[in-house]
């Protein structure tokens, strides 16, 4: 069924091919960049990109061609994460489509809005095992927010337009359009007004997004807040997606409530603010985790109590009443039973609460003072006396240069956690990382996508030698398009996070994780890919100058730093542990000096 809800464009009624219609909708949706790799089944649409740009010299749609389609998907994700707009990937059928499965699932897990348009064999060949055919609808349905297989070319424009609505509405996510080649070649009149009617979907999402908090609900919230002596905000990625940072900051200040954030919530609050306790969870700040243990009211805002945070749910915030606000009603009470909840937009909900409670004066000074003391006592720390370069020191020094004003993308592993711990993030959408899926190889293409969204921004990919190998072909993409991405490679010659687990739980049996047997010269690889700045640091004395030169270089830059392979990520809440038992390692002060202080003998780790 097709409805008339979109605004009529000047192209309405013009005769176009299906491919040209696709490009026209993308342009009308504000798309300025497409990431993708061509191939037989998507060639008509790639030709339409060329023709569109030829006919619209003042409103070009940039095309960035990656090394492979997984890179295209993660570039679209980086673009979306950094800008808040829908990212677009355009790939061919068969292996082109299946190569995007991982970024689609990654975006679904982290609520990131992208559109993946996949070429498909002609409609009459679907199901015949035709050349480069894959069952995209079946594969992607398990991974995406929604999948369309376009069978009726008359509904093509409406389908593409609807895909954008679905991707960005409610809880955002990836939408896949499976586009047969003959539909791309079909000719017809362009319909610029129609969207598909998805029986109740739009009504439900609009209802939740626009919902205002009832007075009785606000009254009961403030009753809980007034009773609380140690309230704590638990801020997740939903606060970033909602655009709630400003009102959240006001709420925190108005009622003097300290806040912890999830990995995805970093940046929703200025991490340098005295009331921000940084990240909680498996590798969160010790003081953040201790604050969760101590609090008597935990206010969850766009956070879903995932296993890397809640661990053992009944031991998580065991002394606290739970309040939860989330736009996705399915997340409320899913993991942890709640005492108060509201399903709606976080920005709107907090605005309503601020207005209702503007006359209330609450005194949490004693709790805030206790939290500040914890921040001092249990601060992040590392081995500052070692002659070997410590990864934490690298990021700490880089943070002094960037002053919290860079967009940081990361791969996945120890370097990811060190980046979350040691960088300042003053604004939302400045930490781009694969949270729920934990996808190695994410960092470099995501940084490219962010740089495409913000050409003048300082964008840094913090990566590891294991993670960067996954999508190392995208180094050439930086130089091909002269995107000034800065790639910082922390090389510990191994899969550091897995090595850490093997050291702690597998009696130093390093099966498959030792990369010293590999002979990759990353600096030469960067030079081969055209990097004008490609350097290596092996000594602490070289670090400061190299980092300054790296950041200030005009263009793509690559800096490899050899770091201590025995430098582990602490704190760590291991499997089966509660926060009170977390390992703080040898350099972070624990509340206890028992066997869970994390002190390890790693002298023979390899």
**Active site residues per annotation:** 69, 131-132, 181, 497
Query: Measuring CA to CA, how many Å separate 371 from each of 206, 350, 364, 375?
Result: 39, 23, 11, 6
DSSP for residue 588: S
Give residues with Cβ within 8 angstroms of 70, minimum separation 6.
99, 100, 102, 103, 441, 445, 471
The maximal CA–CA distance of the chain, rounded, in angstroms, is: 76
Both tokens assigned to 346: 């976080």
Give residues with Cβ within 8 angstroms of 359, minimum separation 6.
none
**SS3 (DSSP) at 228:** coil
Both tokens assigned to 425: 């993030």
Distance CA 23, CA 376 (A): 55
Phi, psi of 421 (to 5 degrees): -80, -40
Q: Write the secondary structure of 94-149 as one string of H (helix), E (strand) and C (coil).
A: CHHHHCCHHHHHHHHHHCCCEEEEEEECCHHHCCCCCCCCCCHHHHHHCCCCEEEE
Query: Measuring CA to CA, how many Å separate 30 from each of 10, 164, 407, 503?
Result: 15, 11, 23, 50
For strands 459-464 and 557-562, give the pairing.
unpaired
- The answer to whether the CB of 491 falls within 8 A of the CB of 522 is yes
Neighbours of 227 (CB within 10 A): 11
Both tokens assigned to 320: 């606290």
DSSP for residue 329: G
Distance CA 330, CA 394 (A): 41
Neighbours of 441 (CB within 10 A): 24
Distance CA 151, CA 434 (A): 34
For strands 187-189 and 194-196, give the pairing.
unpaired
Contacts 24+ apart (CB under 8 A), 152-157: 153/18, 153/183, 153/186, 153/188, 154/188, 154/191, 155/2, 155/194, 155/196, 156/18, 156/21, 156/22, 156/183, 156/186, 157/21, 157/22, 157/24, 157/25, 157/190, 157/191, 157/192, 157/194
Nearest to 494 by CA among 525, 524, 464: 464
Both tokens assigned to 568: 């582990």
């Amino acid at each position: 069924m097709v409805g008339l809800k979109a605004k009529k464009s000047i192209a309405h009624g013009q005769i176009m091919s299906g491919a040209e219609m696709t490009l026209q909708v993308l342009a009308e949706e504000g798309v300025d960049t497409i990431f993708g790799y061509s191939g037989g089944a998507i060639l008509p649409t790639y030709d339409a990109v060329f023709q569109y740009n030829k006919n619209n010299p003042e409103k070009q749609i940039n095309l960035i061609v990656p090394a492979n389609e997984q890179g295209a998907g993660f570039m679209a994700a980086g673009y979306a994460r950094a800008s808040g707009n829908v990212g677009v990937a355009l790939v061919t059928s068969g292996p082109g489509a299946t190569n995007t499965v991982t970024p689609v699932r990654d975006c679904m897990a982290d609520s990131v809005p992208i559109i993946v348009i996949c070429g498909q064999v002609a409609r009459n060949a679907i199901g015949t095992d035709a050349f480069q055919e894959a069952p995209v609808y079946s594969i992607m349905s398990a991974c995406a927010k929604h999948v369309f297989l376009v069978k009726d070319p008359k509904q093509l424009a409406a389908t593409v337009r609807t895909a954008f609505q679905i991707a960005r509405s409610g809880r955002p996510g990836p939408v896949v359009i499976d586009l047969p080649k003959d539909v791309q070649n079909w000719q017809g009149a362009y319909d610029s007004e129609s969207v598909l009617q998805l029986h109740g979907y739009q009504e439900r999402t609009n209802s939740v997004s626009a919902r205002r908090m009832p007075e009785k609900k606000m009254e009961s919230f403030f009753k809980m807040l007034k009773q609380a002596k140690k309230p704590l905000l638990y801020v997740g990625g939903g606060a970033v997606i909602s655009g709630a940072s400003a009102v959240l900051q006001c709420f925190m200040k108005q009622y003097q409530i300290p806040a912890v954030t999830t990995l995805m919530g970093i940046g929703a609050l200025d991490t340098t603010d005295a009331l921000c306790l940084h990240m909680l969870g498996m590798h969160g700040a010790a003081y953040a985790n201790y604050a969760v243990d101590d609090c008597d009211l935990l206010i969850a805002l766009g956070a879903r109590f995932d296993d890397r945070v809640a661990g053992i749910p009944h031991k998580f915030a065991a002394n606290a009443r739970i309040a939860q606000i989330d736009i996705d009603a399915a997340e409320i009470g899913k993991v942890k039973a709640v005492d108060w909840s509201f399903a709606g937009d976080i920005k709107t909900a907090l605005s309503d609460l601020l207005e209702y409670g503007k006359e209330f004066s609450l005194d949490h000074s004693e709790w805030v003072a206790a939290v500040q003391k914890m921040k001092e006592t249990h601060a992040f720390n590392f081995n500052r006396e070692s002659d070997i370069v410590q990864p934490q020191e690298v990021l700490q020094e880089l943070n002094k240069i960037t002053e919290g004003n860079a967009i940081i993308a990361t791969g996945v592993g120890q370097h990811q956690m060190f980046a979350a711990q040691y960088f300042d993030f003053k604004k939302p959408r400045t930490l781009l990382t694969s949270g729920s899926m934990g996808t190695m190889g994410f960092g470099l293409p995501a940084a490219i996508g962010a740089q495409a969204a913000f050409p003048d921004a300082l964008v840094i990919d913090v990566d590891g030698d294991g993670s960067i190998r996954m999508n190392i072909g995208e180094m050439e993409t930086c130089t091909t398009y002269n995107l000034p991405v800065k790639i910082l490679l922390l090389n510990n010659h191994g899969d550091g996070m897995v090595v850490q687990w093997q050291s702690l739980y597998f009696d130093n049996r390093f099966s498959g994780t030792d990369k010293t047997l590999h002979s990759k010269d990353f600096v030469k690889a960067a030079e081969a890919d055209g990097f004008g700045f490609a350097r290596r640091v092996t000594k602490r004395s070289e670090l400061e100058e190299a980092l300054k030169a790296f950041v200030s270089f005009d263009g793509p830059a690559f800096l490899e730093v050899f770091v201590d392979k025995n430098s582990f990520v602490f704190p760590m809440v291991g499997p089966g542990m509660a926060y009170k038992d977390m390992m703080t390692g040898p350099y972070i002060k624990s509340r206890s000096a028992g066997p869970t202080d994390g002190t390890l003998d790693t002298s023979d780790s390899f």
